[in-house]
Amino acid sequence: MAADARGALVYLGFADHEPRLRILERLAREGGLTDDPAAFAQVESQLDAYFRRIRTTFDLPLAPRGTPFQLRVWKELLRIPHGGTRTYGDLARRLGDPLLTRAVGAANGANPISIIIPCHRVVGADGSLTGYAGGLHHKRALLDHEGV
**Active-site positions?**
119
The Cα–Cα gap between 9 and 76 comes to: 18
Cβ 133 vs Cβ 12: under 8 Å: no
Q: Quick one: angle between helices 101-109 and 68-77, nearest 10?
A: 80
Question: If you compute the radius of gyration of the chain from its CA atoms, what whole number of angstroms results?
Answer: 15
The Cα–Cα gap between 148 and 135 comes to: 17
Residue/partner pairs of 69-75 with CB below 8 Å, 24 or more apart: 69/103, 69/107, 70/107, 70/110, 73/104, 73/107, 73/108, 74/107, 74/111, 74/113, 74/117, 74/119
Cβ 21 vs Cβ 75: under 8 Å: no
